[in-house]
Amino acid sequence: MSTRMDEEEWEHALLLFRACLPRRGRKADDRRFLEALHFFTVENVRWRSLPKDYGHWHSVWTRFDRLSKADMFAPFSTRWLR
């Protein structure tokens, strides 16, 4: 079973993700961030074990923590848990 998303799926996921983000702040690489979250969950690793390809682990964790506290992921979990 492949857990990789094709380009069409990525475009759809990024549109949904960006629609939930605030409009201010610096522009980050959203796809790389989502790929890091995907790797984190699928591989069941610690944050410190994220490969360098995804950026510094602490930056990824900080963004995840901030977005989680703002309930940014709530629309995704309720949609996909049905």
Name the residue ranges covered by the structural domains of the chain. Answer: 28-82
pTM: 0.69
Q: What is the pLDDT along the chain (82 residues), one digit of tens a residue?
A: 456 777 888 787 777 777 666 666 666 788 888 889 889 888 889 999 999 999 999 999 998 888 888 777 776 555 444 4
pLDDT of residue 78: 52
CA separation for the pair 2, 47 (Å, rounded):
22
CA separation for the pair 63, 61 (Å, rounded):
5
Name residue 31's amino acid: R
pLDDT of residue 81: 45
